[in-house]
Structure 1
Amino acid sequence: MSTAREPAAAPPAAEPGDADSARLAALGYETHFKRDMSLWANFSLGFTYLSPVVGVYALFAFSLATAGPPMIWAFVIAGVGQLLVALVFGEIVSQYPVSGGIYPWARRLWGRRWAWMSGWVYLFALLATIASVSYGAGPYAAAMLGFRPTATTTIVCALAILAVATLINLSGTRWLALAAIIGFAAELLGALAVGIWLLATERHHGLGVLFDGQGTGSGGSYAAAFLAASLIGIFQYYGFEACGDVAEEVRDPARRIPRAMRMTIYVGGAAATFVTLALVLSVADFGAVISGADADPVTTALTAAFGSGMVKVILGIVLISFVSCAMSLQAAASRLTYAYARDDMIVGSRVLARFSRARHVPPYALLLAAVLPAVLVIGSKLSADALTKIISFASLGIYLGFQMVVLAALRARLRGWRPAGHFTLGRWGLAVNIAALVYGVSAMVNMSWPRTPEAPWYDDYIVPLSGAVVIVLGLVYMAATRHYGRGDAPAGDAIPAAGRAAPATDPLTTP
């Protein structure tokens, strides 16, 4: 059996009689993580990464101003699309419950090169998202503490959030799980309480308004406005993959992780939709939002419903949501980095694959997931525009990483792969896989579509350009270092031997 290289001076492996460790050993690995994460903790990790509060509060004003109240239907469309992706991921992680998520899944389904590039894109996206979530908390911290947000104070707040998230992650899986459950409970209860109170005290409209665009759209076409506003749904529904990133820290992962992924979509999507519904019906003047006179309808509605004193309490819950989201993102990024390093697929593998004997976490991989986002945040002091360009890639990169796995799964199915984990879709697998790919590609096209013709062309095309830059950098890295060929961990073995022959012209196909 092929075994991945282990770091020097690693702590003893899990008990040989443990069924989960035996299953992992059959896949070619030994684990040094502790399986301290329950189903609810695993779900909470995905929920806090998805973070309904962070996603809704960040994009509500833009979406409402762009397409009016019907923008809420974007949550339904994106929820169904991402559920298809989650079902495909569930089949994969059930058969391959290995830490790192996107990278090891693509490795088993396709091969080393495809997996390396999938992980590279996803890691860049995660690091950019950590920076954007931390930076985005600044205005809420300023409002809660009563000072005017400036570039400097926003950076300080972002660094503080990164520090707290890192300390929680460095404390070990048990503390990460506890913090995720606390974050989930605070965010869900806060979202429900705010939504119910808004509907009870500040409701200004009936449900019919959800079908009224309020005059938005240009040239008589509403479709373009809705597609732009639907980014709120596209940006909302990821995070469920984090449940699989920590597969070696979950008990009975082959059964529990697919369920936790689906729960993340159901509960997180329902919470986001409910909060959005309450906010939409609580906006007194849609015209003011659409014209820009009310640039922050969330704060306007909350202040009207709760008063300035209670709003600070709500903002405190929002900050907890931001910290929990950054913490979950960091956990995902560190496990991906560790998975790379364990297979000797990246510069600095010997260091990044090291484990803390006391905490059972990869401390240097975690520090990397803190330092690089901190550099991006600090760099905004020199050029906020540069940070914006980096962050523009974040969501596209996550979707691209997803679809590289979905495509790998489809290719593997067509070459004979039959999912063999505890969770399978049976005869519906191929249809769901194709539908997930169609949705994902459509979402990426929507994210990349140029919508600011008045801006310089490179700003209008910033999302696809940033994606192209990351991919080109990855190809240069691959050609210069050939790290993708190191290590002897299994690759491409999902496909039966008879179906493994690949076209020689495909540079990313060789296992």
Structure 2
Amino acid sequence: MSSTDDRRLADLGYTSEFRRDMSLWANFSLGFTYLSPVVGIYTLFATSLAAGGPPMIWSLVLVGAGQFLVALVFGEIVSQYPLTGGIYPWARRLWGRRWAWMTGWVYLVALLVTIASVAYGAGPYLSAFLGIGVSTWNTILGAVVIIGVALAINLAGTRALAVAAIVGFAAELAGALAVGGWLLLTQRHHGLGVLFDTFGAGSGSGYFTAFLAAGLIGIFQYYGFEACGDVAEEVPDPTRRIPKAMRMTIYVGGAAATFVCLALLLAVPDFAAVIAGTSTDPVTGVLTAAFGEGGLRVVLGVVLLSFLSCALSLQAAAGRLLYSYARDDMIAGSRIFKRFSPARHIPPYALLVAAVVPALVVLGSVISADALVKIISFAVLGIYLGFQMVVLAALRARLRGWRPSGPFTLGAAGLAVNIAALVYGVLAILNMVWPRTPEAPWYDDYLVLLSGVAVVAAGLVYLVAARPYEHGAAPAGDAIPQKAGSP
């Protein structure tokens, strides 16, 4: 199969230095740990419950369905273009160099700040696990440790990454099922009817508005499946296995996240206190009541492993995206970032960037925790923007004659799925940028939108000034059939 994969890659204009050491299950595990049900739910559970009450759980179902459409579109693309870096090379083949450069830029910045946000989010859990007080410096130190451990595993090579992903997947899934099952058995204070009871949430602005705000837990949850495609040149038979791994990431990860959320919801003793803001950390309260101090430490260990696995997968994706840029000579420092370790078959300098930049972002909280919040505000928006730039490129290519030719295709349903995926993505982005704090200064109310505009503007300045799209000779825009006589 390797020779077939190599010939397919050569037909696309590349010779890979990666080793195909990642099985279907390892590829799926990489996507699962990136999506990370535990990280997503534990991070935003309190905020979403306070905003929308128990019905916020339905956002996990709605967003999961929308992102599944995106995963189907991505599956068609990676099945035809199984190239390292995912988002960037897909956009390059579907549209062209300029569009690909901007798509990759937005996604790369988003990945780097998401690594910082995940590592920073692990800090308080690490402090609790170690039994020390939560402080800014302890949180920073914990975040840097998470980033450093993830880098060490990534630098060990594809096989080490695959093993770590599988271990992380098994531990997180087992932990989610064990914790959720125990909560349902011992801490269930409500029946399923509460999933349809708002308990007064949104009484001021109307519940639809409150549900949209609470729905950010779903939007934050369902990305990570694209990481399966970021390592396409490290997977045997990627044209078939990666689309399947992407779909598995959505429905297995989504089911796990929904189960964890359900178990936590039914274990919260007082919804009114959370909605009123008097109970700000219901997750820790529920876990302490269920497991005691000793058991809580075991649960925290699983949570920390989930954060580490998530940071590991994000770092792997960011490093390979930067390498993909550099391989096409599309970014400053390409000569360094495309260098390969002959022993471990990974791009060490690209991976180093994926650790150093997030660590610097985390260290910024020493100066101002607000500054860190402002930087991280772009994280999820940037990933969704990158997704939809590819979905739009796919739709444009389809309308201009592209017909997916990989082993996985949607056939006649492809156009409808593509349109639906784009509509969903645009609505999700609007929900993210919508201002919700009119009492705050305008620049805070529009913080997410402003951060997106700033990143796109910086990318445009670089694009115009440095003209990186003029470098390299890799194919671009070739998904669209060329008319007879055209160059």
Same fold (TM over 0.5): yes
Tell me which interval the TM-score lies in, with the shorter structure as reference length.
Answer: over 0.9
Letter of the aligned partner of 1:319 in structure 2? L
Q: Is residue 185 of structure 1 aligned with residue 154 of structure 2?
A: no
The superposition leaves residues 160-219 of structure 1 with CA deviations (integer Å, 9 ceiling, x where unpaired) of 000000000000000000000000000000000000000000001000110000011033
Change (3 A) 1:440 1:499: farther
Q: Which residue of 2 aligns with 1:260?
A: 245
Change (3 A) 1:30 1:141: same
Q: Which residue of 2 aligns with 1:375?
A: 360
Q: Is residue 455 of structure 1 aligned with residue 440 of structure 2?
A: yes
CA contact (8 A) 1:415 1:500 kept: no
Q: Which residue of 1 aligns with 2:76?
A: 91
TM-score of the aligned structures, taking structure 1 as reference length: 0.94
The 5-angstrom pairing of residues 309-458 of structure 1 reads 309-458=294-443
The superposition leaves residues 424-451 of structure 1 with CA deviations (integer Å, 9 ceiling, x where unpaired) of 0000000000000000000000000000
Letter of the aligned partner of 1:262 in structure 2? R
Instruction: Give the SS at the match of 2:343.
Output: coil
CA contact (8 A) 1:343 1:489 kept: yes
Letter of the aligned partner of 2:409 in structure 1? T
The superposition leaves residues 133-169 of structure 1 with CA deviations (integer Å, 9 ceiling, x where unpaired) of 0000010011111111100010000000000000000
Q: Which residue of 1 aligns with 2:143?
A: 158
In structure 1, distance between residues paired with 2:444 and 2:420? 31
Q: Which residue of 2 aligns with 1:228?
A: 213
In structure 2, distance between residues paired with 1:219 and 1:174? 53
In structure 2, distance between residues paired with 1:371 and 1:123? 14
Which of 234, 246, 259 does residue 231 from structure 2 map onto?
246
The superposition leaves residues 354-389 of structure 1 with CA deviations (integer Å, 9 ceiling, x where unpaired) of 000110000000000000001101111011111111
Q: Which residue of 2 aligns with 1:200?
A: 185
In structure 1, distance between residues paired with 2:48 and 2:484? 46
Instruction: Give the SS at the match of 2:377.
Output: helix
Report deviation, 1:500.
Answer: 12
The 5-angstrom pairing of residues 166-181 of structure 1 reads 166-181=151-166
Report deviation, 1:293.
Answer: 1.6
In structure 1, distance between residues paired with 2:484 and 2:194? 54
Letter of the aligned partner of 2:258 in structure 1? T
Q: Which residue of 2 aligns with 1:506?
A: none
In structure 2, distance between residues paired with 1:180 and 1:162? 15
In structure 1, distance between residues paired with 2:374 and 2:86? 26
The answer for unaligned runs of 5 or more in structure 1 is 1-14, 502-510
Q: Which residue of 1 aligns with 2:284?
A: 299
In structure 1, distance between residues paired with 2:483 and 2:385? 29
Letter of the aligned partner of 2:361 in structure 1? L
Q: Is residue 30 of structure 1 aligned with residue 20 of structure 2?
A: no
Instruction: Give the SS at the match of 1:497.
Output: coil
Report deviation, 1:308.
Answer: 1.1
In structure 1, distance between residues paired with 2:396 and 2:259? 37
Q: Which residue of 2 aligns with 1:7?
A: none
Q: Which residue of 1 aligns with 2:256?
A: 271
Change (3 A) 1:217 1:40: same
Instruction: Give the SS at the match of 1:18.
Output: helix
Q: Which residue of 1 aligns with 2:57?
A: 72
The 5-angstrom pairing of residues 107-126 of structure 1 reads 107-126=92-111
In structure 1, distance between residues paired with 2:133 and 2:321? 37
Report deviation, 1:291.
Answer: 1.4
Aligned CA RMSD, in angstroms, stands at 1.3
In structure 1, distance between residues paired with 2:376 and 2:393? 26
Letter of the aligned partner of 1:415 in structure 2? R
